[in-house]
Each structure stands twice: as structure tokens, then as C-alpha cells.
């Protein structure tokens, strides 16, 4: 499990680091710029990651086919996933580019809105390479090749950082583009990611004795429907979770620029720590799926619980850092003392929900590997939208706790979701154990 999880977790950290680097690099432009990249980035990811989530059916189909030794079926799934990605691009871009029309309705801070709109419109051009990369990386993970994912994301961060340095502040004669430069840098980095992961795919398939052209085939409606049936619950779970935090960002944008900046910085820190359980979650999906494909149900059960233990150990370490070293962490992002003051409180809440967040993330992957995703969607729907966000609204706006009250509601939701998924995995893993007997 560690051999699968470690490279993927490092890769996920590389993925999240792009957003972190963007936030850090625009920090010198002031709180409004930090808030703008937060709001714009969050809203883009709601729709783009939904598209990526629709490809998560590859985790189940590819890993189980690979466990059976059927590489041809793995190719078939990837080929149809690429068709899904191409069909999704114009839909997602159209929706994303219409979002700024709702900023006045949502009451987004005018200063933040002026910066967020061009950032979001520019970022939308990264949709195609993002989805092509997403499909290819899930295939490579499913067949056990995780190191290319790690290297691609880490090296893409270097490109993103350098392009940020050139384009945000106008170094080496380049125009000073501000937050738009940050979005453009991300687009360039994602184009690089899609190209490099494709090169890895070609090399790996050739080394295994397969021709790459077997992946590219005409659309097969039955396989596309099968992928979407598996991917839709996973995508729904993702959009419910990311959507909840995006709604929180929109609600935070109705507060002061300081509150929004502190929210964005704390979200960025929590997102970095979230990437490790997310990587372990992908490893859990592959481990459980391959074991089920091979008919080794007891091994599938063990894989899920081992992944959970690893994630919980990491969560305790991350929580300790947020409690012991909040100010040094915040100083990486901003020198604004007011933002730091609020950020310390939010990082303490982030520390509180680390264990719950790690638990629900990894168990989501384990259940996806087993092909059981509907319960995950229900848990997120109830936890965030019927409990967490209404409670956060009540505490933040009605009771006057501001951004802290909003975060308290999200923390309560995460704890409830983790408890529900732990119960569900325990029930499903017992069923797997019974099948093994």
C-alpha cells in the first residue's frame, strides 16, 4: 500500500502545490488578489473536477481488469474515457465562463470580483489538458505505474512557479499581468502535464508489448455508459465536497477582504494536507479493485484498512503542525498581521478536522475500488448541505462569529461524514470477508 500511495500522494501534493504557489505568488498584490485567486480557483474546480470525477470509473474498471490480467480491456476503458473527456470540454468551459454573471447576485466583494473575473476566464482555457491528463493518469495508476504521475506533477510545479514569476510581476521584459498572469501560468503548466503524461503512456505500453493505437478506437456507447455509471457517483461526491468549500468561499467573499484572505490561506494549508490522504485514497481504490479483480476478497478488505491506518497517522502529524507552528506557516503566504491573526484560529479548526477528513477521503477511495459509491454521495449531501453549511451560515452570519463560525460548521460536517463512511466500509468489508470465506 505504501509503494502505491507514496508516489501518488507526492503527485497529489504536486497538484495542490500549483494552487498554493499561485496564492503565495499573488500575495504581494494584497488581500484582494489573494481572495480573487481563491474564489476564482474554487469556482473553476467545482466544474472542472466534476469532469475529472466522471473519469474515476477508470479506477474500478482498469484496476479490476488489470487484476484479471486483461490489458486489452484496460485499453478499451481508457479509449472511451478519452471520448468522455473531449465531449465534456465545451460544456465545462461554457459553464465556467458564465459564472461571473452571478457575482453581483452572490454579493461578492467588488474589489475581489474585479480581480476574480479575468482570472477565472483565463483559467478556463486549461480545461482540455486537465481532463486529458486526468484520464491518462487514472489509467496509469490502475495498472500500477504511479511514479510518472508523481514526476509529472512535481516538474509541472517548477514550470508554474517560474511562469508565475515572469507573468505576475513582469520580469525579464514580460508584461505585468497580475492575477491573470497567475492563471496563464497554470494553463501552461497543465498543457505540459498532458503532454508529458502522454509520452509516459506511450513508453509504458510499448515496453509492455502493446501498441498505443489499440487505445484509440471508435466510441462504444455501452462502455461509455458503464464508465459514467461508475464515475457519476464519484463525480457527484467530489462536486458536493469541493462545492461545499466553494460555497464557503463565496460566503466568505461577502465578509471583509481580510476574512476572505485568511479563509483562502487556511483553505490552501488544509488542501495541502488533504492531498496526502487523497493520494492514499487513490492507492486504496487501486489496491481494493485489483484484489477484487483477482478474486482475493480478504486482501481487498485488508487493503482498505491498511490505507485508513496510514492516513490516520499522517492526519495526526498534520494536525500537530497546524497547532504548533501556525504563524510560520501563515507567514509563507502573507505578512498582513490581521490576516495572520484570523488565520491562526482557522488553522486550529483545520487541525481539529484532519483525522475526520483523512478518514472520509481514504474510505471514499476504498469504496470506489469496490464499486460502491452511492453511500458516499449521500453522506456528503447530508453532511455538507443539510448540516455543515446551514450551521456555518447560522454561526457565521446570524450569531456573529464571522469566518470562524463558517469553519465550525464545515468541521462538524466532516466529522459526521467520516463517521458515516467508516460504518459503511466496515459493513462492506465484512461482506467481502464473508465472500472470501
Instruction: Give me the DSSP letters along 71-118.
Output: HHHHHHHHHHHHHHHHHHHHHHHHHHHHGGGGHHHHT--HHHHHHHHH
Using 50, 70 and 90 to split pLDDT, how confident is the model at 260? confident
Under DSSP, the state recorded for 334 is -
pLDDT digit string (tens) for 145-160?
878 887 888 888 888 8
Residue-level pLDDT at 309: 92
N-term to C-term CA, the chain? 23
Task: Report the C-alpha gap between 5 and 68 in whole angstroms.
Answer: 21
Using 50, 70 and 90 to split pLDDT, how confident is the model at 12? low
The burial of 58, by beta-carbon neighbours within 10 Å (0-12 exposed, 13-18 middle, 19 or more buried), is given as buried
Using only C-alpha atoms, the chain has a radius of gyration, in whole angstroms, of: 21
Ranking 65-69, 134-138, 183-187, 341-345 by mean pLDDT, the lowest is 65-69
Task: Report the C-alpha gap between 369 and 373 in whole angstroms.
Answer: 9
Residue-level pLDDT at 26: 76
Q: Which three cell numbers stand for residue 276?
A: 496526502
Using 50, 70 and 90 to split pLDDT, how confident is the model at 11? low
Percent of the chain with pLDDT over 90: 13
Using 50, 70 and 90 to split pLDDT, how confident is the model at 436? low
Residue-level pLDDT at 101: 82
Q: Which residue has the higher pLDDT, 258 or 366?
A: 366
Residue 418 near residue 360, CB atoms below 8 Å? yes
Residue-level pLDDT at 56: 78
User: Other C-beta atoms within 10 Å of 219: how many?
Assistant: 13
Using 50, 70 and 90 to split pLDDT, how confident is the model at 320? very high
Residue-level pLDDT at 195: 92
Residues 6 or more apart whose Cβ sits within 8 Å of residue 31: 257, 258, 260, 261, 334, 336, 339
Highest mean pLDDT among 13-17, 37-41, 197-201, 233-237: 197-201
Using 50, 70 and 90 to split pLDDT, how confident is the model at 232? confident
Tell which residue, 357, 371, 410, 420, has the closest CA to residue 387. 410
Using 50, 70 and 90 to split pLDDT, how confident is the model at 14? low
Tell which residue, 351, 123, 384, 392, has the closest CA to residue 255. 392
Residue-level pLDDT at 259: 79
Residues 6 or more apart whose Cβ sits within 8 Å of residue 383: 413, 414, 416, 417, 420
User: Other C-beta atoms within 10 Å of 388: how many?
Assistant: 27
Q: Which residue has the higher pLDDT, 75 or 233?
A: 75
Task: Report the C-alpha gap between 396 and 197 in whole angstroms.
Answer: 43
Main-chain phi, psi angles of 332, to 5 degrees: -65, -30
Q: The cell 500549483 sits on which residue?
A: 18
Q: Angle at Cα 128 formed by Cα 126 and Cα 131, nearest 5°? A: 105
> Does position 415 have pLDDT exceeding 80, yes or no?
yes
Instruction: Give me the DSSP letters along 43-56.
Output: HHHHHHHHHHHGGG
**Mean pLDDT of all residues in 392-419:** 86
Using 50, 70 and 90 to split pLDDT, how confident is the model at 435? low
What mean pLDDT value characterizes the chain? Answer: 83
Q: Where on the phi/psi map is residue 186: left (φ > 0), alpha (ψ -120 to 50), or beta? A: alpha
Main-chain phi, psi angles of 44, to 5 degrees: -65, -45
Q: Where are the alpha helices (H) located in 208-256, listed in sequence order? A: 221-252
Amino acid at each position: 500500500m505504501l509503494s502505491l500511495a507514496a508516489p501518488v500522494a507526492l503527485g497529489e501534493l504536486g497538484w495542490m502545490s500549483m494552487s498554493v504557489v499561485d496564492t503565495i505568488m499573488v500575495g504581494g498584490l494584497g488581500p484582494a488578489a489573494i481572495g480573487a485567486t481563491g474564489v476564482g480557483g474554487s469556482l473553476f474546480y467545482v466544474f472542472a473536477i466534476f469532469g475529472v470525477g466522471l473519469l474515476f470509473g477508470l479506477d474500478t474498471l482498469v484496476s479490476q481488469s488489470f487484476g484479471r490480467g486483461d490489458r486489452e480491456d484496460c485499453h478499451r476503458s481508457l479509449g472511451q474515457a478519452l471520448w468522455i473527456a473531449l465531449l465534456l470540454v465545451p460544456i465545462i468551459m461554457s459553464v465556467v465562463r458564465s459564472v461571473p454573471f452571478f457575482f453581483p447576485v452572490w454579493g461578492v466583494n467588488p474589489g475581489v470580483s474585479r480581480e476574480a473575473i479575468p482570472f477565472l476566464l483565463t483559467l478556463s482555457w486549461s480545461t482540455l489538458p486537465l481532463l486529458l491528463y486526468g484520464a491518462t493518469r487514472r489509467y496509469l495508476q490502475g495498472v500500477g505505474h504511479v511514479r510518472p504521475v508523481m514526476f509529472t506533477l512535481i516538474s509541472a510545479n517548477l514550470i508554474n512557479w517560474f511562469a508565475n514569476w515572469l507573468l505576475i510581476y513582469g520580469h525579464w521584459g514580460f508584461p505585468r499581468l497580475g492575477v491573470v498572469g497567475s492563471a496563464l501560468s497554470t494553463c501552461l503548466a497543465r498543457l505540459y502535464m498532458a503532454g508529458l503524461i502522454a509520452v509516459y503512456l506511450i513508453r509504458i505500453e510499448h515496453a509492455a508489448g502493446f501498441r498505443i493505437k489499440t487505445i484509440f478506437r471508435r466510441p462504444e456507447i455501452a462502455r461509455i455508459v458503464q464508465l459514467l455509471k461508475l464515475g457519476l457517483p464519484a463525480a457527484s461526491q467530489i462536486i458536493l465536497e469541493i462545492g461545499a468549500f466553494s460555497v464557503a468561499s463565496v460566503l466568505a467573499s461577502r465578509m471583509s477582504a481580510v476574512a476572505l484572505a485568511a479563509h483562502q490561506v487556511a483553505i490552501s494549508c488544509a488542501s495541502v494536507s488533504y492531498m496526502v490522504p487523497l493520494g492514499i485514497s487513490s492507492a486504496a481504490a487501486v489496491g481494493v479493485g485489483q484484489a477484487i479483480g483477482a478474486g482475493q476478497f480478504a486482501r481487498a478488505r485488508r487493503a482498505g484498512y491498511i490505507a485508513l491506518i496510514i492516513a490516520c497517522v499522517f492526519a495526526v502529524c498534520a494536525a500537530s503542525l497546524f497547532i504548533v507552528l501556525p504563524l510560520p506557516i501563515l507567514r509563507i503566504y502573507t505578512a498582513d498581521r490581521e490576516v495572520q491573526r484570523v488565520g491562526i484560529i482557522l488553522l486550529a479548526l483545520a487541525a481539529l478536522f484532519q483525522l475526520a477528513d483523512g478518514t472520509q477521503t481514504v474510505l471514499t477511495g476504498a469504496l470506489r475500488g469496490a464499486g460502491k459509491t452511492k453511500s458516499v454521495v449521500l453522506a456528503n449531501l447530508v453532511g455538507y448541505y443539510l448540516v455543515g453549511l446551514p450551521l456555518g451560515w447560522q454561526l457565521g452570519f446570524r450569531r456573529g462569529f464571522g469566518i470562524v463560525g463558517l469553519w465550525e460548521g464545515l468541521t462538524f460536517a466532516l466529522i459526521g461524514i467520516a463517521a458515516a463512511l467508516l460504518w459503511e466500509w466496515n459493513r462492506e468489508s465484512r461482506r467481502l470477508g464473508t465472500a472470501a470465506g
